[in-house]
Every structure is written in structure tokens, then in C-alpha cells.
């Protein structure tokens, strides 16, 4: 809040005279006197369509006049020099006013304003007490908010120290540090639903998210208490991760605290839609949060960020907020521990249902396929007789090397059959099963053929070889 204070001395004038003359000056300038105290007057400059009304405080101490001008509408700087202009305008008008004696009605008006200010101060104090009873500004703390912010920063610093780019990390690095990635998360890495909440895609992403978290925690943590706040943050973050996986059909890498932060704003939105928070603060907060949510969702649509996670966090936060409201407003007798446990249990149940219903073992399949290919390469290499190798030696090689390799691949195929796979991978697994069975049959015929001298198995080997070529063609031509 930019402000400027200046002192002026007027020998021969009493404090009360200076205050009355100041009141007359305010009227002459067309400013609006709002409040008055024993030795102070608060006024606001004229408000016009193209500029705000600014606050001017006039204080008296003996024959000294202290004038303070402040910009009170969220300005960060006073580049136009409005404060200096207001003070100069006031003193110039005051010099003209002080030539004449104070008018009696000014004293009456000041006294009346003092009484009104006392009444307003008492009402404001009462309203402040009502707000504090719910939002607990005077008794609550924000330690947990700071701890979560600190943890996010520590994770990011660890990433950077390990060599991750601090402006634009690669997808591989993000996945390595626990980002949400469908093939891994829906495989066995269920923990990524939570760890991705603490991984950020660069320093700008981190700073924006931590600022938004700080603003939410500033109000919510004292009001909810640490247990409710932590359970809401973690659970809405997990739900946001789940919705992201469910919505996106491609294997995108998702990370960041924004889903959990939207969850906290969803909690706040739910509480503000009830009568729990006094009206005088509820309306302004509701407007601010509504603007925040709308802006970020619209920005997300335009910039291509993970809006599914934002919406998932927001909606789950709204549900959690209404549950918390029932507890805080004593509509149900559960207590913060049971309420928090309810949120946690519902989240775990939802996560379990999703992970089992949408399980994806494509990563395991890829790992098994790599192992299969190594065995296949060994088997095909062993199925060729070496230079000068006798039939007996080749037979031994087939029995001790080639046949076990294909039998191992048969076991790998059986393991693949137990996996949850897409239709395309299931089709590939069936083709590999057919291919493996033919290779086993071919190997067994080759073993028998080493004991025959009349080419008894030649036609059978050619027929199997043709079938193998057909299956390989299907496998190699798959999309």
C-alpha cells in the first residue's frame, strides 16, 4: 500500500483548531470525511470513473499537522505521484481556509463523526469477533501450510541438484521423480497418485503453485485445523491425479500441486456457500475465489495444462468442504478426527476401485517382451549348426540350449496371460503364444531329425517353417 506522510507546523493554533480547519479544507476540496477521533480525521478523495478514491489521514499534535496519503485499492507503486499531489492540494487549500476562523458547524460535525466512529468501531469489533470465532485468525496458525510449501521446495531443490533442468524438466526426469504416468501408475506404481503432487515442472510452475497454496492456507488452515487441512490437501490431490488418468486417453506426464490446491479452493468454496462464515467477509472472499477458479480454468483450456486434474481437485474439494461444514457447524457429532478419517477412507476406496478397474500392465508386458526377445535371439542362434558340428553335437545343443530357451519363453507367455492388457497387446500376446508353440514343435522335430538319415522330418519342418513365417508376418505388421 503506497503512502506518503508529511508534517506541517502552524504556530498559534491549537490541536482542535487545526482539526476543525482540516475538516473545512476537506469539504472545500470536495473530499468525503468518513471517520474522526480525538486528534484525527480520515477522508477520501473524490472518486471518478477513471480513478479510485484515495485515503487521506489528518492528525494533529499541538500546533503540528500530520498529513498521510495512501493508495488503498491494491496498488503496488505510486508512479503518478498521487500521494504527493493529494498532500499538496490539501495544504494549499488549508492555507486559504486558516485565514478565517473555524466555523461552529465544523466542530459539531466533527463531534458527531466521532460518536459515529465509536459506534462503527464497536460494530466492527463485534463483526471481527464473529469472524474470528469461525476463521480463528487470532488463535490458529499456518505452520502446516509452510511445511507443505517447504516440502515442495525441498523436492524441487533435490531434483535440480540431481541434474534436472530447473526451468523445463524432461518428461523422463519427471517420471523418475514420481510424476503421474498412466502406464506406470496403473501398473504397480500406485504411489504416483500422491508423489506427483510434490513434483513440479520447472521453477515458474513451483512459484505460482506455492503462492496459490499460501493464499488458500492463510484462511483455511486456522479454520479447519491441521488434521482436516492435511487430509483435504492430500486426498484432493490423489483424486485430481485419478481424474487426470481417467480423462486423458494418451499417456501424458502429469505433475504439480495444482490439483490439490484447486481441492483446497473447492473446500473454501463449499464453506463460503454456507452461512458458516459471516456475510461481511463471505461475499468478498466468494468473489475473489470465484474469479481465481474461473480464470485458471479458462487459462488451462487455452494453454493446454492438465485441467482434468484441476476440475477433479475442485469437485472433490467441494465434497470434502461440505462434509467439514457438517462437522464444524455441529450438524453431525463426529469430530475432526473421524471426519478426516472419513475423507481418507473414501479416497482410498475410490483409488482402489479405480486402480483395480483400470489396471494397465503394459509396462510389465514390455519388460517380459524384452526378456522374451533375449531368449528368442539365443534360441534362433542355437538352432543353426556350427561349422563342422556333428549331428550328435547339434542335437545336444538343441536339447541343452534351444529347447530350454523356448520353454522359458512359453513360461513368459503364461505370465503375460495373467496381465491386464489392452486389446492390441492381448492380440500380440496370443500371436506370440502361437509363435512360441510352433518354435517348440520345430525344435522337437529338429532334435528327432538328427537321429534320422532319410529326411523323414523334412516335409514337416518345411510346413512348420511356413506357419512360423505367417505368424511372424502378422506380428511384424501389427499397428
Active site positions, annotated: 258, 310
Of all helices (H) and strands (E), which one includes residue 444? helix 423-449
The SS3 call for residue 163 is: coil
* Spatial separation of the C-alpha atoms in residues 147 and 277, rounded to whole Å: 26
* Spatial separation of the C-alpha atoms in residues 352 and 190, rounded to whole Å: 9
C-beta of residue 220 within 8 angstroms of C-beta of residue 141: no
Of all helices (H) and strands (E), which one includes residue 277? none
In sequence order, what are the beta bridge partners of 66? Answer: 7, 59
3-state secondary structure labels for all residues of 82-94: HHHHHHHHHHHHH
* Spatial separation of the C-alpha atoms in residues 465 and 197, rounded to whole Å: 53
What is the helix, strand, coil percentage profile of the chain, to 5? Answer: 65, 10, 25
Q: Is 65 exposed, middle or buried (0-12, 13-18, 19+ CB in 10 A)?
A: buried
Packed helices 203-224 and 226-247: angle between N→C axes, nearest 10 degrees: 140
State the virtual CA torsion across 177, 182, 188, 189 in degrees, nearest 10: 20
* Spatial CB neighbours of 208, under 8 Å, sequence gap ≥ 6: none
* Spatial separation of the C-alpha atoms in residues 383 and 399, rounded to whole Å: 10
Residue 112 grid coordinates: 458527531
* Spatial CB neighbours of 459, under 8 Å, sequence gap ≥ 6: none
C-beta of residue 30 within 8 angstroms of C-beta of residue 47: no
Which of 315, 295, 292, 303 shows the shortest CA–CA distance to 242? 315
* Spatial separation of the C-alpha atoms in residues 34 and 65, rounded to whole Å: 18
Count CB neighbours of 462 within 10 A: 10
Phi, psi of 67 (to 5 degrees): -115, 125
Cell 494418451, residue located = 250
* Spatial separation of the C-alpha atoms in residues 61 and 91, rounded to whole Å: 16
Which of 388, 407, 387 shows the shortest CA–CA distance to 447? 407
Amino acid at each position: 500500500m503506497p503512502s506518503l506522510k508529511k508534517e506541517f507546523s502552524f504556530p498559534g493554533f491549537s490541536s482542535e483548531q487545526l482539526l476543525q480547519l482540516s475538516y473545512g479544507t476537506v469539504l472545500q476540496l470536495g473530499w468525503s470525511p468518513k471517520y474522526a477521533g480525538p486528534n484525527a480525521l480520515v477522508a477520501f478523495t473524490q472518486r471518478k470513473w477513471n480513478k479510485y478514491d484515495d485515503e487521506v489521514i489528518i492528525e494533529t499534535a499541538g500546533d503540528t499537522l500530520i498529513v498521510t496519503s495512501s493508495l488503498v485499492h491494491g496498488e503496488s507503486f505510486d508512479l503518478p505521484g498521487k500521494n504527493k499531489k493529494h498532500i499538496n492540494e490539501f495544504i494549499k487549500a488549508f492555507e486559504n481556509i486558516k485565514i478565517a476562523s473555524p466555523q461552529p458547524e465544523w466542530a459539531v460535525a466533527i463531534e458527531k463523526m466521532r460518536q459515529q466512529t465509536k459506534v462503527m468501531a464497536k460494530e466492527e469489533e463485534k463483526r471481527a469477533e464473529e469472524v474470528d470465532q469461525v476463521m480463528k485468525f487470532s488463535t490458529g496458525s499456518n505452520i502446516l501450510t509452510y511445511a507443505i510449501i517447504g516440502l515442495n521446495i525441498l523436492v524441487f531443490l533435490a531434483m535440480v541438484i540431481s541434474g534436472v533442468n530447473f526451468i523445463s524438466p524432461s518428461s523422463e526426469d519427471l517420471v523418475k521423480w514420481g510424476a503421474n504416468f498412466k502406464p506406470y501408475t496403473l501398473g504397480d506404481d500406485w504411489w504416483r497418485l500422491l508423489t506427483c503432487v510434490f513434483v513440479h515442472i520447472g521453477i515458474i510452475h513451483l512459484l505460482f503453485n506455492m503462492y496459490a497454496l499460501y493464499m488458500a492456507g492463510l484462511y483455511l488452515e486456522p479454520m479447519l485445523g491441521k488434521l482436516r487441512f492435511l487430509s483435504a490437501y492430500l486426498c484432493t490431490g490423489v483424486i485430481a491425479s485419478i481424474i487426470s488418468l481417467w480423462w486423458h486417453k494418451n499417456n501424458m506426464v502429469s505433475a504439480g500441486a495444482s490439483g490439490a490446491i484447486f481441492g483446497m479452493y473447492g473446500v473454501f468454496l463449499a464453506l463460503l456457500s454456507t452461512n458458516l462464515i459471516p456475510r461481511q467477509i463471505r461475499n468478498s472472499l466468494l468473489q475473489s475465489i470465484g474469479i481465481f477458479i474461473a480464470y485458471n480454468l479458462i487459462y488451462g483450456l487455452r494453454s493446454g495444462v492438465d485441467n482434468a486434474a484441476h476440475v477433479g481437485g475442485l469437485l472433490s474439494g467441494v465434497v470434502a468442504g461440505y462434509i467439514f461444514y457438517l462437522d464444524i457447524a455441529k450438524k453431525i457429532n463426529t469430530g475432526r478426527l473421524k471426519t478426516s478419517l472419513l475423507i481418507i477412507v473414501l479416497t482410498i476406496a475410490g483409488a482402489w476401485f479405480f486402480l483395480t478397474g483400470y489396471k494397465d500392465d503394459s509396462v510389465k508386458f514390455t519388460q517380459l517382451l524384452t526378456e522374451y526377445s533375449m531368449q528368442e535371439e539365443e534360441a534362433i542362434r542355437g538352432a543353426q549348426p556350427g561349422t563342422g558340428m556333428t549331428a550328435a553335437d547339434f542335437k545336444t545343443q538343441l536339447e541343452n540350449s534351444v529347447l530350454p530357451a523356448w520353454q522359458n519363453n512359453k513360461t513368459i507367455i503364461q505370465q503375460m496371460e495373467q496381465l491386464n492388457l489392452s486389446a492390441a497387446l492381448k492380440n500380440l500376446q496370443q500371436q506370440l503364444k502361437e509363435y512360441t508353440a510352433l518354435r517348440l514343435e520345430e525344435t522337437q522335430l529338429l532334435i528327432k531329425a538328427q537321429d534320422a538319415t532319410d529326411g523323414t522330418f523334412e516335409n514337416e519342418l518345411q510346413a512348420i517353417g511356413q506357419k512360423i513365417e505367417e505368424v511372424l508376418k502378422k506380428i511384424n505388421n501389427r499397428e
